[in-house]
Amino acid sequence: MISKRIDSVVLYCAFNGPYLEYAKELISSFLYHHPSHYVIATSVNCSSKDLKIFKNKNIMLDVKTKVWNKKGNEEEYFKCFMSQYRFCYLSQLMDSNHNIKQIISLDADSIVLRSLQPYFNLLKKHHDIIFNLNRHRRKCNRIIANIILFRNNKNTRKFFKIYRTRYAKIGKMDWFTDQLILYDIWQENKSNVAWSSFRRYKKRLHMDDYIRHISRRLHV
């Protein structure tokens, strides 16, 4: 997809029809604050007419068509598909684009309010991956998947490949399934990956000052 080495942080997001307009705002806001950076966006079941709004040399579209969730009904598919399956697409992109060195994954319905460079600088601390970890009584909310910042290296490729394999075995999509899987993989592999939590830096980096999520605060 991208032939040259990219050292700057690349934004990844995924969307289908219901999230098309949100994704447009996210990508526009990211490139406004980071005009020299790149965006990789997976679009699912969107028409070529819809995707014309993303014509920009810094935006790479990973276009998927005729995708259908045969294990659930239509309502469940449109409500949950992107939140669940985006990390499978992300894993595939990481495997085929080793030249992309750093990635930030954001929910499609997020807006970047200012430069994210203070967050990007956290990767200089030799972290492989930084999660939005929370001390929540509900296991499904202990990793909030609306933001993940990471290097594209063998450790993180293995991490997301496990996600892809594990998700393939699930017969039903429910909200928070992605976060449950991510949390379990982190628990099982945290000694094999250099991880950190955004909570460690919240005193000097208040996330809601940098990224606004349409439906909820980034920290719960």
7 φ, ψ (degrees, to nearest 5): -90, -25
Query: What pLDDT does residue 219 have?
Result: 42
Task: Show the tokens assigned to 195.
Answer: 């991880």
Query: What pLDDT does residue 76 have?
Result: 54
Residues 6+ apart with CB under 8 A from 56: 31, 39
**Three-state secondary-structure class, residue 85:** helix
pTM above 0.85, yes or no: yes
Query: What pLDDT does residue 35 have?
Result: 96
Task: Show the tokens assigned to 124.
Answer: 């200089």
Task: Show the tokens assigned to 178.
Answer: 């992605």
When computed from its CA atoms, the radius of gyration of the chain, rounded to whole angstroms, is 16
Antiparallel, parallel or unpaired: β 129-133 and 195-197: parallel
Task: Show the tokens assigned to 167.
Answer: 């998700």
Could you state, in chain order, the average pLDDT of each consecutive group of 10 residues for the chain (220 residues)? 79 91 95 96 91 92 75 57 86 93 95 96 91 87 93 96 90 80 94 93 91 63
Query: What pLDDT does residue 220 have?
Result: 36
Query: What pLDDT does residue 124 have?
Result: 86
β-bridge partners, 104: 11, 149
Query: What pLDDT does residue 172 have?
Result: 62
| Fold classification of 6-213 (topology level) | Spore Coat Polysaccharide Biosynthesis Protein SpsA; Chain A (3.90.550)
How do the domains of the chain map onto residue ranges?
A: 6-213
